[in-house]
A and B are shown apart, each in its own frame.
Chain A
Amino acid sequence: MGLGTVLTRRAIALTFALIVVVLLTVLIIGATGYDATIWKAIINEQVRAYQATLVQKQATAAQVQQLVAQYRNKLIHLYGLDKPWYVRMEPLLINTLTFNLGLSNSHDVADVAGVPYPVPVGTAIMLCLPRTIIMITIAQLICAVVALYIGPYIAYKRGTLFDRAIVSYAALTNAIPVWWLGMIFIYFFGFIMGWFPTDYRAVVYYINHFMDDPVTSTQYILWYASLPIITIVIAFLGSWLYSVRAMVLRVVREDYINAARAKGLPESVVVSKHVLRAASPPVVTSVILSLAGSLGGYIITESIFDWPGMGTLYWVAITSADVPTILGLTYMFTLIYILARFTLEILYIYLDPRVRYS
């Protein structure tokens, strides 16, 4: 099979997976009657408002009853509640897949986005994505850079006190839930020491009005983002260091490294040309996948910090039962992940000769 065929096959498989995931989401929302309950509540609300206006216009009781029934039927037809769920879900599925994400019908979602209600789902996502990048992607990037610099070094110092300290640190932080660490840090560094903010929602203002005063905004954004970033870096750096170390160690033990040393290559060349080159595919995989994963936000951690990113947006969409936002975000999460996977497939052609020649 040629390289093109392999990539095309992967592209088709990933697209298929993407469609199935969206289909599954639609299925969960539709088949369980979740959306019907929500629409019914909305219809009742609108009918009540309509009834109130009719009473104000002093219509007779019989008239009101008739008009309200008509209005209710009109709404039921409009929202498609008279049709079975799969018919109702069909346009939703098509629209989502074609990025026609629609309008959010939740005030809370608009609130998290920091713009007036009603907000298009696409706009809400585009507003929240940079905030998640500022907090979580940057934190992961810091972890990745530090781990890539120190990880191979630790692998070389295997068995020393420093190595054992790093491994213990990794085991410890791997066990601690990051959101719990966040709770404790907010209390200790926020409330007790007063070094960091305790309410993070206000960052919306500085991000949404960044252009008004870029310098001040940057300062404030940094101040708001610092504790979340510190928390995530502390919680994840250990695992990062440990896995880079393990990936390098796996290569260092290979025979061809010994061979390279035996033929008299300087250690720096052995490291850069043989060790790091061979260890790069798994390292790149973990970097790309965790950066892609970070774009979806950490729902629980963002919620603890009340950080208005993708994770909080999703949670608010869930609590306010906002179907368009739930669907749109699920689609985005999956799309980002699948694009990352596909990027990896392409990168592997360069990184791993076995892919090229098999």
Chain B
Amino acid sequence: MKSMMEWNRELMSYTSGKVGLALFIFFIVMSIYALMVMPPNYKYAWNDPKHWQGYPQLAPPSWVRMLGYQNAAHESQTFTAPTSVIVRSGYKVYTFSMLYNLDVKDYPQDIVVAIQGLKVYRMGNRTIPVLIQVDVRRPDGKVLAAVKYVEYFNNVNGTKAYVKLPLTRSADRNLIIDEVESKILNTSNVLLKTPIAVSYLFSSFKILSNNSVLFQPLEGPYVISLNFYYPVNTPYVSPVDKATLTVVGDCYGLMGTDNIGRDLAQGLLYGFPIALAIGFGTALASTFIGLLVGAVSAYYGGWVDESLQRLVDIIGNVPLLPFLILLVDITPVGERLQMIMLVLVIFGWGGLAIVIRSMGLSIKEEPYIDAAKAIGLSNAKIIFKHLIPQVMPYVVASLVFSVPGAILSEAGLSVLGLEHGWPTWGRILADARMAGRYDIWWWILPPGFLLALTSLTFVLLGMAIETIVEPRLRTL
């Protein structure tokens, strides 16, 4: 048997081995990194639209801006202390403000605030309601309100509200229409559309003769401020533990977002460990069974061999994909991923068993096996110490080749429409397919590319290992 070092050196002597090994290390590093940063219960967060409220929908990656695309930037700022505290018309106003620069001909998708640990002010037994307002100061000097919300603290006992889950509010479209009509257009006799109201916050306007409104992006610096109106004698330094102000842009992160705002970079990242777990789990188990059955079948012969061969015959004739689909379909959603792996293991070891058996048949005739028998070694020991090590290099190559199979099966089943709840590459593709958005390239291309890269990695690695263990192949 060769040592790890020798193996490594030989692997590195082939181009395909080098590339395969490099890609393999890349996959391992990505998986470990994903496991380290993946929050617990991420599976549920991924499927919960509420979790993705502060994200733009169907937004391309941020870097498209550098390619000259006109997509409004996405900006988010988190505060723990107010930027200013003033007393105005009988209120103490705590203000958190951020600057947003609109530098392209495009509109941001939304303005969202998330408030955590909002202080409850009481007078005697009564809680005093607090007005929460988000104002947008535009480059033209106009100030429009995007959110107006009064929190009454009904049923709140402690000194703070929204400690665990934040209070989330996004721009109120009806309010924006009112504001635009009264503060900019000075008339309500025009046609403004509610669904695109957020765009009006960032627009310059022109009223046409038929009372419709022509609007286009108003570029320049905007000041977005989140204001809390408390009674004058409030003692707090900050009315909240944490406040996050987000101008939801029209592009996001490294890989963009999908139709419910999910950050695809996260989904793709967490796809790494899941893919490797599916691939390796299935490959290891089926290779192990195939090796064992093949070795036992060859060594014992007789009725053991005959019955195992019949078994191999049957699983070899099973229409695998239809069976897989049927079995996964009748499994509850939460256990489907495990079911995919189980089915692929149960029906996946036949091919290897046949090869190992034929190799084992010739090894069995070697004199050292007879010698081992003569000195009274048990059958199990002979199989494990003398037969299996001989076929091991071939088994390793076969293991590596079989890793992508399960990953691709999982992806295929997801795309077909069999949900399993985990954020995998196949699942991301499936979502794009269900939404019918083949045109969103940042949604369709990266997951498929990663799937292809996975196959390529293990094929290259497998080919290099095969060449090492089977020198006859070197001239191929």
A and B associate: yes
A-side residues, CB < 8 A to B, are 13-14, 16-18, 20-21, 24-25, 28-29, 32, 34, 158, 171-172, 174-177, 179-180, 183-184, 186-187, 191, 246, 249, 253, 296, 299-300, 303-304, 314-315, 318-319, 326, 329-330, 333-334, 337-338, 341
**Top 10 closest A-B pairs, CB basis?**
A175-B455, A187-B438, A333-B319, A180-B448, A175-B456, A17-B317, A175-B452, A300-B412, A176-B452, A17-B314
Partner among B319, B429, B472 whose Cβ is within 8 Å of the Cβ of A337: B319
A16 partner residues in chain B, CB cutoff 8 A? 310, 313-314
B316, B319, B452 pick with most chain A CB within 10 angstroms: B319
CB distance from A19 to the nearest CB of B (A): 10
Judge whether A186 and B438 touch: CB under 8 Å. Answer: yes
Distance in Å: Cβ of A343 to nearest Cβ of chain B = 14
Tell me if A314 and B322 are in contact (CB < 8 A).
Answer: yes
Given contacts A25-B326, A32-B330, A180-B451, contact A334 B412 (CB under 8 A): no
Complex formed: what's the CA distance from A186 to B476 in Å?
Answer: 36
Closest to A186 in B: B438
Residues of chain B with a CB closer than 8 A to A187's CB: 438-439, 444
Known: A16-B310, A171-B456, A177-B408. 16 other contacts (CB 8 A): A17-B314, A28-B327, A32-B330, A174-B455, A175-B455, A176-B448, A177-B452, A184-B445, A246-B476, A249-B475, A315-B325, A318-B326, A319-B329, A330-B322, A330-B323, A341-B317
Q: Which B residues from 393 to 422 make CB contacts under 8 A with A?
A: 404, 408, 411-413, 415-417
Tell me the chain B residues, 329-374 only, with Cβ under 8 Å from chain A: 329-330
User: Interface size (B, Cβ < 8 Å)?
Assistant: 41
Interface check B459, CB cutoff 8 A: yes
Complex alpha-carbon distance, A21 and B313, angstroms:
11
Q: List 29 A-B contacts (CB under 8 A).
A: A13-B313, A16-B310, A28-B330, A171-B459, A172-B452, A172-B456, A174-B455, A174-B459, A175-B453, A175-B459, A177-B412, A180-B415, A180-B448, A183-B444, A187-B438, A246-B476, A249-B475, A249-B476, A300-B321, A315-B325, A318-B326, A319-B329, A330-B322, A330-B326, A333-B319, A334-B318, A334-B319, A337-B317, A338-B317
- On whether the beta carbons of B451 and A177 are closer than 8 Å, the reply is yes
| Given contacts A17-B313, A175-B453, A341-B317, A333 and B322 within 8 Å (CB-CB) | yes
Q: How far is the CA of A246 from the CA of B452 in the complex (A)?
A: 23
Give the complex CA separation of A28 and B321 in angstroms. 15
Alpha-carbon distance between A171 and B317 when the two chains are bound, in angstroms: 27
> Do A326 and B438 touch (CB < 8 A)?
no
- On whether A329 and B314 interact (CB within 8 A), knowing A175-B455, A318-B329, the answer reads no
Known: A184-B444, A315-B416. A253 touches B325 (CB 8 A): no
Nearest chain A residue, comparing its CB with the CB of B457: A175
In the complex, chain A residues whose CB is within 8 Å of the CB of B411: 177
Chain B hits for A319, CB < 8 A: 329, 417
A315 CA / B310 CA spacing, docked (Å): 30
Q: What residue of chain A has the Cβ atom nearest to residue B320's Cβ?
A: A333
Closest to A330 in B: B322
Residues of chain A within 8 A (CB-CB) of B454 are 175
B319 CB contacts on chain A under 8 angstroms: 21, 296, 330, 333-334, 337
**Please, how many angstroms separate the alpha-carbon atoms of A182 and B197 in the complex?**
38
A21 touches B318 (CB 8 A): yes
Instruction: Kindly state whether residue B65 has any CB partner on chain A within 8 Å.
Output: no
Q: Chain B, 441-476, contact with A by CB distance < 8 Å: what is the 0/1 string? A: 000110010011111100110000000000010011
Question: At the interface, yes or no: B433 with Cβ under 8 Å from chain A?
Answer: yes
Closest to A155 in B: B476
Shortest CB distance B280–A (Å): 18
- What's the dominant secondary structure at chain B's contact region? helix
A28 to B318, CA, bound (A): 13
Q: Which residues of B contact A174 (CB under 8 A)?
A: 455, 459
Query: Which residues of chain A have C-beta atoms less than 8 A from B455's C-beta?
Result: 174-176
Q: What A residues does B313 contact at CB under 8 A?
A: 13-14, 16-17
Say yes or no: A326-B326 contact (C-beta < 8 A), given A17-B317, A183-B444, A191-B438.
yes
Given A28-B326, A314-B322, decide whether A183 and B438 contact each other with a Cβ distance below 8 A.
yes
B330: chain A residues at CB < 8 Å are 28, 32, 34
A171 CB contacts on chain B under 8 angstroms: 456, 459-460
List chain A residues, Cβ under 8 A from B415: 179-180, 300, 303-304
Q: Which residues of A contact B476 (CB under 8 A)?
A: 246, 249
Contact B317 A14 (CB under 8 A): yes
List chain B residues, Cβ under 8 A from A175: 404, 452-456, 459
A18 to B433, Cβ gap below 8 A?
Answer: no
Contacts of B416 in A (CB 8 A): 299-300, 303, 315
Q: Which of A21, A172, A180, A341 is close to B314, meaning CB atoms less than 8 Å apart?
A: A21
A334:B326 contact, CB within 8 angstroms: no
Partner of B429, one of A180, A334, A341: A180
Say which residue of B325, B417, B433 sits within 8 Å of A183 (CB atoms).
B433
Q: Is the CB of A299 within 8 A of B325?
A: yes
Q: Name the residue among A13, A174, A300, A326 with the largest chain B CB count within 10 angstroms.
A: A300
Report how far A256 CA is from B310 CA in the complex, Å.
36
Contact B417 A177 (CB under 8 A): no
How far does the alpha carbon of A265 sit from the alpha carbon of B459 in the complex, in Å?
A: 39
Q: B472's closest neighbor in chain A, by CB?
A: A253
**Alpha-carbon distance between A318 and B329 when the two chains are bound, in angstroms:** 7
Chain A residue nearest to B317 (CB atoms) is A17
A23 to chain B, nearest CB (A): 10
- From B433, which residue of chain A is reached at the shortest CB distance? A183
Hey, which chain A residues are within 8 Å of B475, CB to CB? 158, 249, 253
- Complex Cα distance, B325 from A314, in Å, reads 9
Contacts of B329 in A (CB 8 A): 318-319
Q: A171-B459, A300-B415 are in contact. Are A18 and B452 (CB under 8 A)?
A: no
Question: Within the assembled complex, what's the spacing in Å between the Cα atoms of A32 and B453?
Answer: 38
Contacts of B438 in A (CB 8 A): 183-184, 186-187, 191
Q: Which B residues from 380 to 397 make CB contacts under 8 A with A?
A: none
Least CB distance from B270 to A in Å reads 20
Complex: how many Å from CA A251 to CA B451? 34
Contacts of B317 in A (CB 8 A): 14, 17-18, 21, 334, 337-338, 341
Residues of B close to A299: CB separation below 8 A: 321-322, 325, 416
Q: How far is the CA of A262 from the CA of B323 in the complex (A)?
A: 53
**B406 CB, min distance to chain A CBs, angstroms:** 13
Which residue of chain B has the shortest Cβ distance to A329 in the bound complex? B322
- Cβ A13 vs Cβ B326 within 8 A: no
A213 to chain B, nearest CB (A): 32
From residue A30, how far is it (CB to closest CB) to chain B in Å?
Answer: 11
Q: What separation, in Å, do the CA atoms of A1 and B417 have in the docked complex?
A: 50
Using Cβ atoms and an 8 Å threshold, which residues of chain B touch A172?
452, 456
